[in-house]
Chains A and B, each alone.
Chain A
Amino acid sequence: MLAAVISLGGIGLSAAVALGLAAKKFAVESDPRELAVLETLPGANCGACGYPGCSGYAKMVVSGDKLAAVCPPGGQEVMEKIANIMGFAPITTDPQVAVVRCQGDNAKAKLKYTYIGVTDCVAAQKLADGPKLCPGGCMGLGTCARICPFGAIEMTAENLAVISREKCTGCGKCVASCPRQVIELTPLDATTHVLCNSHDKGALIRKYCEIGCIACQICKKNAPDAYVIEDFLARVVYEHHLETGPGVEKCPTKCIRDFAGGYPQGSSFAPPTCAMPPQKVA
């Protein structure tokens, strides 16, 4: 019994000594600021900064004399903390949120075939360009929702992707994952968007979607600086986002949405509660 205790204790002691020596001899020199920077970061490893994960970004920060890239999920708060730690000049960030430019869920947009297969938008797109008649609309099979590191995207019961303005950090992974490029990064303070992604002519769109942009130009007539029509599709000119009100009111298909009033039909997100800049009434 005593022999067992002594021998095991001896092994433990020698292991401890060996580890202690190894810790001193093989210690890695690292900049203590790197750890401090790493602790300010959101830790999502989303790659939006262009560096391999948050530790990669922290390494970049301490290796240079100024910031080579911002951390979009971290936002202004994190940039200021980093500027403090490193003694850099502060950077202003332009916060962005992703928007799915479509409201054509299964209740409103027609399909060309019943899709039975892998529940993935990229896979469905390969089959005769997807099950929707609309070439640009959201297929709602969830590829973007799965790739979002912040859980900001929900799929409605009628197969439409909706992105929460509060949870979205503007990292851009959903934008790259969508095979139809339906998702766009937009300035955070702009709450009004034209939610359509089809450049087909109005008459054709009416055949397959109730809520698409028919390029009637009524929005532009009522708010000339706030909208531009490109290739049969209207878009908001974000520099004039405060003047978009009349377009939202007069749009005949209701494809223009002001998110301050709520998310598309079917979404479970409550209307955004963070302070929204007031709409200028024309």
Chain B
Amino acid sequence: MKLKTFPGGLHPPDNKQWSAHKPIETCPLPAELIVPLSQHIGAPAIPCVAAGDVVKKGQVIGEAKGFVSVPVHAPTSGTVAAVEDRLHPMGKLLPAVVITPDGDDAWGELPAPLDVQSASVNELRDRLRDCGIVGMGGATFPAHVKLSPPEEKPIHTLILNGVECEPYLTADHRLMLEDAERILDGVAILQKILGVKQTYLGIEANKPDAIALMEKACAGRAIEVVPLEVKYPQGAEKQLILAIAGCEVPSGGLPMDVGVVVQNVGTCAAVADSVLRGIPLIERIATVSGPGIKEPKNLKIRIGMKLSHLVEQCGGLNGEPAKIIMGGPMMGMTQLSLEVPATRGTSGLLLFTADNVPLRPEGPCIRCGRCVRACPAHILPTTIAAYARLDLFEEAEQFNAMDCIECGCCTYSCPAALPLVQAIRHAKGAILAQRRKV
């Protein structure tokens, strides 16, 4: 039977065999937790604690600023050692709350569990915001904002993202195998908030055990499990909508323009925790993998744990790391050191040694067209990057640079080792800066 898919994309080796069969292990608490105040898209949280304060697990330590923002919570009980600038995964020094755990891991006062049937939609959304629920696929967009589409854009379809198309990462896979009930409880809450007519759960065909398990679990819950062809970037929102619902999000538009909302399965589990148990988002599953680590694992980590602590839990380094990636190898962020903390968006930590990272010299564009064939967004990476390098940003905008989803298919396929995504991002940044000025 032919599986649903989308045009474009490519097939990097999935490298999931390193950790797909490893059950989730809970990571013990470290001696210090560094909780950045910016772990989401939108305005960073404003600290509401000071050095010396005693905090309980789940206590609000940073308040949300504005609508597109969420509060930040203490991942464990302990004392605030400092509120200062620390190295952030984005590579800069940004404000963070540093906590010394007291070992008790004691919960503070949590909001009361809500009854999904009787609670109003607004109550449910406010609970998601108060518990800091953000998209856990990696983008960390505040969930309550995504679930508040304007009235003129009614939502009829909810799509759950269990695809996990990035190589090496197996966190969502293990979550579906081990915690399906939590995910489905969260889906029920999302179905109520959005009032959708149909719900789909997309899973790539390289996870047959998860597909079988979820099909059984979803029976009678008005959720259809859709197995998808294994191709990167199937897990990208717009590509997932095209494959499952068959409609294309318009250029410059959002999924709500076609009446769809997409949420990651990890986010669904976090939604269930926040509504049914009042638990804020302070922990998540992350895959630690790659040839540079001795024992690849799927770890349940708290936000604020340093990457070096995660490495220790996985048997330590397998040689000097030349490249440290937070996230997946296609779209993840390279890190300057292992002393940065994990955040709500840390889906994985990958370590590579120098011989895994060949440094190919950049050559001229040979107009081979591989990038155009691979691009899932139907734009011309070679042309946009060429304009970007000449600082011709108006032309880059005309060639739909803003529709680039930064998936990395173009850079991966380029035989001349051109930094295409970086050039396109440069153009996108310049275009946005120009729009802000005008």
Supposing A118-B389, A123-B426 touch, asked if A128 and B90 sit within 8 A by C-beta, the answer is yes
Which one of B90, B334, B359, B426 contacts A122 once the chains associate, using CB atoms below 8 Å? B426
Contact, CB under 8 Å: B419 / A116: yes
* A151–B76 CA distance with the chains assembled, in angstroms: 59
Of the residues B359, B389, B425, contact of A116 by C-beta under 8 Å: B359
Which of the four size classes fits the interface of chain A?
10 to 19
Given contacts A116-B359, A118-B389, A120-B389, contact A127 B91 (CB under 8 A): yes
Partner of B336, one of A112, A116, A117, A126: A112
Task: Report the minimal beta-carbon distance from A253 to chain B, rounded to whole angstroms.
Answer: 26
Q: Which of B410-433 contact A (CB under 8 A)?
A: 419, 422-423, 425-426, 429
- Whole-angstrom distance between the Cβ of A119 and the nearest chain B Cβ: 8
Partner of B91, one of A116, A117, A128: A128
Task: Tell me whether B92 and A117 are in contact (CB under 8 A).
Answer: no
A8 to B247, CA, bound (A): 60
Interface positions of B (Cβ within 8 A of A): 90-92, 334, 336, 359, 388-389, 419, 422-423, 425-426, 429
User: Are the CB atoms of B92 and A126 closer together than 8 Å?
Assistant: no
Cβ contact within 8 Å between A118 and B92: no
**A128/B426 in contact, CB under 8 A:** no
Which residues in chain A, 119-170, are within 8 Å of chain B measured between CB atoms? Answer: 120, 122-123, 126-129
A232 at the interface (CB under 8 A from B): no
Give the chain B neighbours of A123 by CB distance below 8 A.
Answer: 422-423, 426
A113 within 8 A of B: yes
Interchain CB contact under 8 A, B419 and A129: no
Query: Which B residues are CB-close (under 8 A) to A129?
Result: 91-92
State whether A126 touches B426 (Cβ < 8 A).
Answer: yes
In the complex, what distance in Å separates the CA atom of A118 from the CA atom of B389? 8
> Beyond A123-B423, A129-B92: 10 further Cβ-contacts under 8 Å?
A117-B422, A118-B419, A118-B422, A120-B389, A122-B426, A123-B426, A126-B426, A127-B91, A128-B90, A128-B91
6 closest A-B pairs by beta carbon, nearest first, are A128-B91, A117-B419, A117-B422, A123-B426, A118-B419, A118-B422
Q: What are 28 pairs between A and B in contact, CB < 8 Å?
A: A112-B336, A113-B334, A113-B336, A116-B359, A116-B419, A117-B419, A117-B422, A118-B388, A118-B419, A118-B422, A118-B423, A118-B426, A120-B389, A120-B426, A122-B426, A123-B422, A123-B423, A123-B426, A126-B425, A126-B426, A126-B429, A127-B91, A128-B90, A128-B91, A128-B92, A128-B336, A129-B91, A129-B92
Q: Which residues of chain A are near B429, meaning CB under 8 Å? A: 126
| Docked pose: A129 CA to B92 CA in angstroms | 7
CA distance A120 to B362 in the complex (A): 14
A113–B337 alpha-carbon span in the complex (Å): 10
Residues of A within 8 A of B422 (CB): 117-118, 123
Query: Closest Cβ of chain B: how far from A114's Cβ, in Å?
Result: 8
CB distance from A159 to the nearest CB of B (A): 16
Q: Which residue of B lies closest to A128 (CB)?
A: B91
Residues on A with C-beta less than 8 A from B91 are 127-129
Interface class of chain A by DSSP: loop
**Neighbouring B residues of A122 by C-beta, 8 Å:** 426
- Give Cα A113 to B359, complex, Å: 14
**Distance (whole angstroms) from the CB of B418 to the closest CB of chain A:** 9
Q: Mark A36-67, 1 if CB is under 8 A from B, else 0.
A: 00000000000000000000000000000000
Q: How far is the CB of A264 from chain B (nearest CB, A)?
A: 27
What residues on B are CB-neighbors of A120 within 8 Å? 389, 426
Q: Which residues of A contact B359 (CB under 8 A)?
A: 116
A126 to B429, CA, bound (A): 10
Residue of B nearest to A112 (CB): B336
Which among A116, A118, A120, A127 has the highest number of chain B CB atoms within 10 Å?
Answer: A118
Chain B residue numbers with a CB within 8 Å of A118 are: 388-389, 419, 422-423, 426
Q: How far is the CA of A1 from the CA of B20 in the complex (A)?
A: 86
Contacts of B90 in A (CB 8 A): 128
CA distance A113 to B388 in the complex (A): 24
Residue of B nearest to A124 (CB): B422
Give the distance to chain B from A208, nearest Cβ to Cβ, in Å: 14
* Least CB distance, B386 to chain A, in whole angstroms: 11
A116: chain B residues at CB < 8 Å are 359, 419
In whole angstroms, what is the CA distance A129 to B91 when docked?
Answer: 7
Tell me, rounded to whole Å, the shortest Cβ–Cβ distance linking A273 to chain B: 34
Measured between alpha carbons, how far is A126 from B422 in the docked complex, in Å?
Answer: 10
Shortest C-beta distance, A281 to chain B (Å), equals 46
Q: What A residues does B336 contact at CB under 8 A?
A: 112-113, 128
For the complex, what is the distance from the CA of A72 to the CA of B334, rounded to whole Å?
44
Closest A residue to B92 by beta carbon equals A129
B418 closest partner in A (C-beta): A118
CB-CB under 8 A from B389, the residues of chain A are: 118, 120
B-chain residues with CB within 8 Å of residue A117 when the two chains form the complex:
419, 422
A112 to B92, CA, bound (A): 12
Q: Which residues of A contact B388 (CB under 8 A)?
A: 118
A residues in contact with B419, CB < 8 Å: 116-118
CB distance from A121 to the nearest CB of B (A): 11
Q: How far is the CA of A127 from the CA of B425 in the complex (A)?
A: 11
Bound complex: CA A112 to CA B339 (Å):
14
Task: List the A residue with the shortest CB-CB distance to B337.
Answer: A112
In the complex, A128→B91 CA distance in Å?
A: 4
Q: Which residue of B lies closest to A147 (CB)?
A: B391
Closest to B423 in A: A118
Roughly how many angstroms separate A128 CA and B90 CA in the complex, as a whole number?
7
**CB of B363, distance to nearest CB on chain A (Å):** 13
Which chain A residues lie closer than 8 Å to B92 at the CB level? 128-129
State in angstroms the CA–CA spacing of A117 and B423 once bound together.
9
User: In chain A, what residue has the closest Cβ to B335?
Assistant: A128
Contacts of A112 in B (CB 8 A): 336
Q: How far is the CB of A82 from chain B (nearest CB, A)?
A: 31
Q: How far is the CA of A32 from the CA of B261 in the complex (A)?
A: 66
Instruction: Count chain B CB atoms within 10 A of each CB in A117, A122, A126 and give the residue with the most.
Output: A117
